[in-house]
Each structure stands twice: as structure tokens, then as C-alpha cells.
């Protein structure tokens, strides 16, 4: 029951901060915990394997896409260079004598990875009896899926290069990828089958004692009450906060009031954050660069209208080309290392960074912002938060980088002060 209660607490926090994946994982853990509580340990142990497959019903993994894309691009470039083909690489883009290539989301290998993880888990569960052998096979399938995707990307580029771009594009691009995946999976199954465990001898004598019926009914009712109680508690706290807070008045005069506004002569990024309570966007001249400051303020957040949302974007116009991540060091004591992203459009370069302010805390981590939000809510301080996107457009990265660093270093303290003032103006009425 303690396991069930902890899972319920995690679901409560996930529901409170609109972190769907946390709530979904917690619900699966609650289902597993309720099996243990209602049917007993022996039944739980026998059903643990099948119950574990419930985790595959949870949609997750989007956050690893950039990393997979980087790995695929780097592995492809290494393979081409080992083949004697000259390559000029810039992040996920590279140029060879026969043309230019770019690794996009569809090339990341995430479909390979998740499919291999799923079918590998099923094969391991049905083939082996020992858990360590199951885990080893699943890990091997994950590594093989990564290698298969790298091999696919390298082979497609190589074939296109050797055939003057007659093969490796279009339908052959997709077909070749699935052929490689099928060969890798079937080969892995054939090798894994060599270490198949002998099926256990089934003892016809019942080994599990049946719990008394009143105990089963009482535990089931208690588990159901706890599960619904966490959800009702989260809804009550969110609704209570939304009723008692004053209307939002976003005032950024202290931080942005003295900055000279300009009509940008260069293309600018178009951030988009969904469901914000208030949005400010302005273009300013600073340190010789043109900066766009976009601020989306959130209050009374709920699913689809929260600070961290997978559909929110730094660049929503789809006219810019992403060129990779950069790091600016020693910007300020608040943010010693600042992660930025580089975009290009025609002859314009834009550097952009995203900051999350959550009730007095500043971070660039989406996970940390959710934790800060939960901490503030549990203390009764509300869920106020803001996404701050600062971008600088210039002709070269060397011009944009110092302008962005200077702007953040000089502007951040006063901007945070304005946000604190906005939050204080909307404290609950007692």
C-alpha cells in the first residue's frame, strides 16, 4: 500500500503542474501497486512481467530527438570520411561533392529505437526466464537499433553519392531503411534464440493462497478511493487558486521602458507559446544588434495552457534553418552557462535563448521549471511563471553573440524584478 500511496502522490504532483507524462507513469505504477495490494505479493510477482508492458502505452521520448539527430549526423560524417569522401559538417548539416544533406527528425532513428525496445522486450520476456538475460537482450536491441539507423543514414548518402543521386532518394530512401531494420531485428532474434532458457516445469499444485474475499473488496475500494482522491485534490487546489487571484497586470517598464524600440531591418525569429495569460513582444536596439524580446506570462495553468508545452516554439514561421546549439559562458551569476540556439535565414544569423521564470526561480531546464511550479503550488504561492525568449539578429554569429550576452547580462536583473512585481500585485485576497 505504501508503494501505491507514493505513486498516487506522484500522480497528484503531475496533475497539479500539467505534466502529463509524470501523471501517466504514476497511474501505471498505481495499477501495478493496486495489484500487489489487492491480490498479494505472490500474484503480483507472477503478473509483474505482463503488467510492465503497460508502460509502452505512455507516449514519451520526444526530448531525446535532438540528441538522436546529433548522433546520426556525426556517425554519418564519420562513416563518409572513413570511406574517403570529403565532408564539410556544420551541426546536423553536411556537404559532400555530390550535394548537401541534413538530418531531420524523421532521420533521428527514434522509430527504430522505440520499435526495437518494444519487440525486444516481448522477445526477451517470452524467451528467457532470468531477468538479467532479459535486460541484457533489451539493452543489446537498443544499441543495435542505434547502429542500424546510423548504418541506414550512411548507406543512403553513400549510395546517392555513388549513383549521382539517382538512388537513395524518395521511395528507395524509405524502403532501404526498413530493409536494414528488418535484417537487424531478425538477426538479433536468431542470435538471441541460441541462449533460450528451458521453459519451467509447471506445478499443478496451487502455490498462491487466495486472500479472503472481504479483504480483497476492502483493499480494492480503498485503492479506488485513494486514486480518485489524488485527482480531486489536484483539481481543488488548481480551481481554488484560479478563483482567489487578482487580474493580471503585466508591467515591464523598469526593464524595457528605457530600451529604444526599432523597426528591424533584418529578419527576426517568431516565437510562439500557447495559452499564455499575457504576451509582450518588442524589437529593441542594443549593443549594435537588433534584439527581439518575447515574454509569455502564465497564471492558473492547465493542460494545453501551461508554461512548458511541447507545441511551444522559438521559431514558428518555419522560414529559418536551425544550425545547432551554442553555449555562452560567464553571462551572470544567475546563469553562468547560457544555452542558445543558432538559426540562419538568407544572409541573416539569429541567436536565441529561452529562460523559464517560475515564481522567483530562473532556469533553462523544463524539468526544473515543473519542479519549481509544484513547489510553489504546494506552498500555496500560486503557479505564476513566464517564458522569456531573447533573440538577436545580425549578419554574422560574431556580431550576434556579444550583443546577446550583453543584453542578458544587463537586462536580466531588472526583468526578473518586473516579473516579481507582477506576481506580488496578484497575491491572493484573504
Q: 133-142 long-range contacts, Cβ below 8 Å, gap at least 24? A: 133/195, 133/197, 137/192, 140/188, 140/192, 141/116, 141/117, 141/185, 141/188, 142/113, 142/116, 142/117
For residues 144 and 116, is the Cβ–Cβ distance under 8 A?
A: yes
Task: Give 106-142 pLDDT, tens digit per residue.
Answer: 778 888 888 899 999 999 999 998 889 999 999 999 9
Kindly tell me the burial class for residue 289, based on how many C-beta atoms sit within 10 Å of its own C-beta (0-12, 13-18, 19 or more). Answer: buried
Dihedral of alpha carbons 40, 42, 45, 51, sign: negative
Q: What percent of the chain has pLDDT over 90?
A: 17
Euclidean distance between CA atoms 31 and 135, whole angstroms: 23
The CA-CA-CA angle for residues 35, 37, 40, to 5°, reads 80
Higher-confidence residue of 199 and 268: namely 268
* Alpha helix ranges (H) inside 83-130: 110-127
Mean pLDDT of 252-273: 87
CA distance 34 to 28: 10
Give the pLDDT score at 429: 42
pLDDT of residue 166 exceeding 90, the answer is no
Give 58-97 pLDDT, tens digit per residue. 887 777 888 888 899 999 999 999 988 888 887 788 888 8
Q: Which residues pair with 338 in a beta bridge?
A: 328
Cα–Cα distance for residue pair 3/25, rounded to 1 Å: 13
- Structural domain spans, the chain: 62-169, 253-424
pLDDT score of 359: 87
Grid coordinates standing for 102?
Answer: 541534413
Check whether 297 has a pLDDT greater than 90.
yes
pTM, to two decimals: 0.74
Q: What is the pLDDT of residue 273?
A: 92
Residue 49 confidence (pLDDT): 85
Which of 129-138, 216-225, 301-310 bottoms out in mean pLDDT, i.e. has the lowest? 216-225
Whether residue 242 has pLDDT greater than 90: no
Q: pLDDT averaged over the chain? A: 82
Amino acid at each position: 500500500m505504501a508503494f501505491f500511496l507514493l505513486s498516487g502522490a506522484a500522480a497528484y504532483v503531475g496533475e497539479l503542474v500539467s505534466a502529463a507524462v509524470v501523471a501517466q507513469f504514476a497511474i501505471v505504477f498505481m495499477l501495478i501497486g493496486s495489484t500487489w495490494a489487492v491480490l498479494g505479493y505472490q500474484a503480483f510477482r507472477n503478473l509483474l512481467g505482463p503488467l510492465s508492458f503497460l508502460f509502452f502505452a505512455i507516449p514519451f521520448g520526444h526530448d531525446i530527438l535532438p540528441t538522436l539527430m546529433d548522433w546520426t549526423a556525426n556517425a554519418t560524417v564519420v562513416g563518409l570520411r572513413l570511406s574517403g569522401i570529403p565532408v564539410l559538417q556544420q551541426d546536423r548539416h553536411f556537404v559532400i561533392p555530390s550535394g548537401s544533406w541534413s538530418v531531420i527528425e524523421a532521420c533521428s532513428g527514434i522509430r527504430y529505437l522505440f520499435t526495437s525496445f518494444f519487440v525486444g522486450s516481448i522477445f526477451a520476456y517470452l524467451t528467457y526466464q532470468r531477468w538479467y538475460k532479459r535486460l541484457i537482450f533489451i539493452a543489446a536491441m537498443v544499441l543495435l537499433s542505434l547502429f542500424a539507423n546510423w548504418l541506414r543514414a550512411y548507406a543512403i548518402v553513400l549510395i546517392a553519392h555513388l549513383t549521382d543521386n539517382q538512388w537513395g532518394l524518395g521511395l528507395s530512401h524509405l524502403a532501404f531503411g526498413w530493409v536494414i531494420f528488418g535484417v537487424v531485428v531478425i538477426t538479433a532474434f536468431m542470435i538471441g534464440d541460441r541462449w533460450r532458457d528451458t521453459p519451467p516445469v509447471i506445478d499443478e499444485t496451487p502455490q498462491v493462497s487466495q486472500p479472503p474475499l472481504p479483504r480483497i473488496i476492502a483493499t480494492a475500494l480503498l485503492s479506488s478511493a485513494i486514486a480518485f482522491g489524488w485527482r480531486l485534490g489536484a483539481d481543488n487546489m488548481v480551481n481554488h487558486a484560479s478563483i482567489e487571484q487578482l487580474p493580471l497586470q503585466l508591467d515591464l517598464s523598469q526593464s524595457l521602458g528605457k530600451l529604444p524600440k526599432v523597426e528591424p531591418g533584418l529578419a527576426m525569429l517568431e516565437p510562439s507559446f500557447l495559452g499564455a495569460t499575457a504576451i509582450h513582444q518588442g524589437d529593441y536596439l542594443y549593443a549594435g544588434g537588433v534584439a527581439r524580446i518575447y515574454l509569455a506570462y502564465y497564471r492558473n495553468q492547465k493542460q494545453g495552457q501551461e508554461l512548458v508545452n511541447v507545441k511551444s516554439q522559438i521559431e514558428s514561421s518555419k522560414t529559418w534553418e536551425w544550425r545547432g546549439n551554442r553555449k555562452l559562458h560567464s553571462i551572470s551569476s544567475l546563469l553562468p552557462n547560457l544555452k542558445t540556439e543558432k538559426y540562419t535565414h538568407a544572409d541573416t544569423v539569429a541567436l536565441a535563448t529561452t529562460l523559464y521564470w517560475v515564481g522567483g526561480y530562473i532556469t533553462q531546464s523544463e524539468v526544473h521549471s515543473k519542479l519549481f511550479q509544484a513547489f510553489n503550488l504546494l506552498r500555496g504561492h500560486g503557479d505564476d511563471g513566464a517564458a522569456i525568449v531573447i533573440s538577436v539578429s545580425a549578419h554574422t554569429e560574431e556580431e550576434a553573440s556579444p550583443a546577446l550576452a550583453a543584453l542578458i547580462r544587463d537586462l536580466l536583473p531588472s526583468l526578473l524584478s518586473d516579473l516579481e512585481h507582477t506576481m506580488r500585485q496578484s497575491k491572493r485576497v484573504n
